[in-house]
Amino acid sequence: MMVIGFLHDVAGHKERIDLYRQAYRAAGHPPEHERVLGAWHAYAGTSADDVRAVGTRAMDGYSGAASYAQELAGAGGDFHAYPAHAPVLEVNRQLSFEERQARSRVIMGEPSACRETLAYLQEALGLTDLIFNFAHVGMDGDAILRSMDRFATRVLGG
């Protein structure tokens, strides 16, 4: 199963993961083979101001791109490529970066805060695998690599 961090609060992810686990086990599969992949936007910043600037630009840009993709797919009107996602995307458009951060919808902060968020998510959701989106709107290749290095050494290795 795959959950995408920014789409739901932790309780929403947990509800879906619990349903997956129940169905998986009811189908006769052993619990030790369950896999839950978590995909989160991540950034280990150098200061609170740095994180706020990068995180706000990143998530506003991502939301804007998602809205534009929906428009292109629908050729106008109220069409949604994924109708169930329409209310989810609307809620996301209304969240500030700070709300996303506080609700663990992103793993963005100074390294210690990222470590805490990551530990919380793994404990609350039982994630077996993680992938991170480090390439954010407004970041050039060198900035992305520096961010990945900070995350690897100060969050995952710290």
Residue 68 has pLDDT above 80, yes or no: no
pLDDT tier at 11 (50, 70, 90 boundaries)?
very high
Asked if the model's pLDDT at residue 15 lies above 90, the reply is: yes
Task: Give the tokens for residue 105.
Answer: 């919808």
pLDDT at 66 over 90: no
Residue 80 has pLDDT above 60, yes or no: no
Burial 47-82 (b: 16+ CB within 10 A, else e): eeeebbebbbebbeebbeeeeeebeeeeeeeeeeee
Contact status, residue 107 vs residue 5, Cβ threshold 8 Å? yes
Task: Walk me through the domains of the chain, giving residue ranges and CATH numbers.
Answer: 2-21+35-156 (3.20.20.30)
How many Cβ atoms from other residues are within 10 Å of residue 11's Cβ? 10
Start-to-end Cα distance in the chain = 28
pTM for the whole structure: 0.88
Q: How confident is the model at residue 77 (pLDDT cuts 50, 70, 90)?
A: low
